[in-house]
Amino acid sequence: MQAIMKTKPEKGFEIKEISEPQITHSNEVKIKIDVASICGTDHHMWVYDQWAQKRLPPAIPFVAGHETGATVVEIGSDVKNIQVGDKVSVECHEADGTCYQCRSDRMHVCRNTKIFGVDKNGIFAEYAVIPELNAWKNDDDLDPALASIQDPLGNAIHTVLPKDNLEDIAGKNVLVTGCGPIGLMSIPVLKMLGAGQVFATAGGNNMQRLNMAKEMGADLVLNAREDGDKIPKIIRDATNGDGIDILLEMSGNTHALSQGLEALTLGGRVSLLGFFSGPITLDINSLMISKAANVYGIAGRRMFQTWQVMRGLLKSKELQNKLKKLITHRVNMSDWEKGMIEIHEKRAIKVVMDPFK
């Protein structure tokens, strides 16, 4: 079969002909890739940035990719709740299942986790083999392109709902700082969960994102370049002086974080998803301690409560239609490089790929 692979410790990917993967453990399933999509992580791997140089060498050469809508074509003898023909997506974190974290409902931060398409073969190929646990059964009628982008959508939902019983969105005012793909996806999710007002900020050099934030349903979109330090006051004025109840930090920008915390109501809640370029300096006294803020670091998606919430939310045609707008480009896997360049040039939001012709 053909596969898009990281073959060398340097910039780039290559298409290679390799043999089909086979089930070797009784709890595995073999899937046929119907659609794949390109994640920001794939872009880091392609660029071969600092993170990639540190993380990838042990696995090279390997098949890239982890976002997919696929069909089960074979199952191992101990597979219990998946059948041949099932439509599935892939949770890309393979957890060990028995460490301290896995045994306490924190499998998404398993300390021995391996990521498909990063630490071992991924899904930019015709077939892949994964454990049953990593195969998430989709509703049969879910568009495979939407099925494929559940990985970043799951990040968005996890940022919105970081824990069980912390779905404090109903009627609350929320600020999303940063309008990359995940930030944008969080906006219609917030609106679906009954958020009061949703504010969004973006850098301002990318009008596509500012416009898309509006289209996703944000009540007020602020241009960080133009509105700058006035943002907390603008938000406070729009919320009866209360400020926002919830901050979703998706930008990895220190100013955005500070402004967001400044706009936060006393006792409010913060999710941190965006990575910063390095250590940051923050007035933690006034912005976290006196503010009685509750701050959650967000990694991956909860396995699998986030997916369960996602299944329910994706029953909404309105949400589906909004998410489709975020799929700005669609190419064949053989043209993967075109898609990658659209992402690199920040012209694309999500790029979806059809299987090799």
For the segment 20-59, give every residue that binds its own copies (CB under 8 A): 25-26
Give the DSSP letter of residue 138. Answer: P
- Residue written as token pair 């699998």: 304
In the set 61, 76, 196, 204, which binds its own copies (CB under 8 A)? Answer: 196
In the set 167, 229, 237, 318, which binds its own copies (CB under 8 A)? Answer: 167
272 DSSP β-pair partners: 249, 297
Asked if 223 is part of the footprint of its own copies (rule: CB under 8 A), the reply reads no
In the set 12, 57, 97, 228, which binds its own copies (CB under 8 A)? Answer: 97
Catalytic site residue from 7, 24, 25, 41: 41
Considering only residues 238 to 257 of the shown chain, the ones binding its own copies according to CB under 8 A are: 240, 242
Asked if 344 is part of the footprint of its own copies (rule: CB under 8 A), the reply reads no
Q: Based on CB atoms, which residue is closest to its own copies, 58 or 241?
A: 241
Phi, psi of 334 (to 5 degrees): -65, -20
- Of 114-122, 160-168, 176-184, 228-236, the window that binds its own copies (rule: CB under 8 A) is 160-168
Q: Based on CB atoms, which residue is closest to its own copies, 131 or 203?
A: 131
Other C-beta atoms closer than 10 Å to the C-beta of 233 total: 13
In the set 5, 123, 142, 161, which binds its own copies (CB under 8 A)? Answer: 161
* Nearest residue to 319 (alpha-carbon basis) of 85, 157, 164: 157
Task: Tell me, yes or no, if 239 is annotated catalytic.
Answer: no
Coil, helix or strand at residue 306: helix
Catalytic site residue from 44, 71, 255, 328: 44
Asked if 74 is part of the footprint of its own copies (rule: CB under 8 A), the reply reads no
Task: Tell me, yes or no, if 265 is annotated catalytic.
Answer: no
* CA atoms of 206 and 144, how far apart (whole Å): 28
94 is written with which tokens? 């393979």
* CA atoms of 221 and 177, how far apart (whole Å): 10
* Nearest residue to 210 (alpha-carbon basis) of 174, 172, 184, 175: 184
Phi, psi of 191 (to 5 degrees): -65, -35
In the set 17, 141, 164, 345, which binds its own copies (CB under 8 A)? Answer: 164
In the set 50, 226, 285, 317, which binds its own copies (CB under 8 A)? Answer: 285
Non-local (6+) Cβ contacts of 137 within 8 A are 81, 82, 86, 87, 88
Asked if 193 is part of the footprint of its own copies (rule: CB under 8 A), the reply reads yes
Asked if 333 is part of the footprint of its own copies (rule: CB under 8 A), the reply reads no
In the set 225, 233, 315, 346, which binds its own copies (CB under 8 A)? Answer: 315
125 DSSP β-pair partners: 3
Count of residues engaged in binding its own copies, rule: CB under 8 A: 84
Phi, psi of 137 (to 5 degrees): -70, 120
The answer to whether 177 and 231 have CB atoms below 8 angstroms apart is no
Q: Based on CB atoms, which residue is closest to its own copies, 15 or 192?
A: 192
Asked if 290 is part of the footprint of its own copies (rule: CB under 8 A), the reply reads yes
Q: Based on CB atoms, which residue is closest to its own copies, 40 or 196?
A: 196
* CA atoms of 6 and 315, how far apart (whole Å): 36
Residues forming the active site = 41, 44
